[in-house]
Amino acid sequence: MTLTPQPLVPSPPLLRLCLAPHAGGPRAIDGAWWPRSYDLLAELPWLLAGLPRTWGHITSVMLNGAVWSSAPGRMFVAGQVVRLRRSLTATAAHTVVLLAPGHGRWDLLVVPPDTTEEAAKPIMESVAGARSVVASAPLRAVPRARS
């Protein structure tokens, strides 16, 4: 009998997310997210799965409609419906706003996917501050949307 080695299952990609330390007061930006593409159907499930539980159930995401790929007005992510709202304003060009009723609003700076690691690292560190939480470990197994 010949045994054939099992192919290695690729590990899930690392979520590139830095969150600003909780200081108790309002902030202009709550963190920085560096997605791998502008494919919202592929990227949003990974982002939502990696957020702190204290942020609550994200029900609405506001983003720049000119930058992200087209997507329906709602999508089902990890057992929850998330409403997608698009803006074409210049102020929203590089941000994603997450809303969770009863918990709050979080604004994340979006580092463009094609940014080099050398250029992205200082951006993410400056937004998150010295005591940032870096969610860069492999995520839980969340089905990735197919494009």
pLDDT tens across 66-119, in order?
888 887 899 988 788 999 998 877 566 788 999 999 999 999 999 999 999 999
The helices-and-strands tally (H runs, E runs) of the chain is 2, 8
Query: Which pLDDT belongs to residue 100?
Result: 94
pLDDT of residue 96: 92
Report the alpha-carbon distance of residue 144 to residue 50 in Å, rounded: 13
CA-based nearest residue to 40, from 1, 59, 66: 66
DSSP structure class, residue 111: P
Q: Tell me, rounded to whole angstroms, the distance of Cα 90 from its chain centroid.
A: 20
Query: Taking Cα atoms as reference points, which of 3, 32, 38, 39 lies closest to residue 15?
Result: 32
pTM of this structure: 0.76
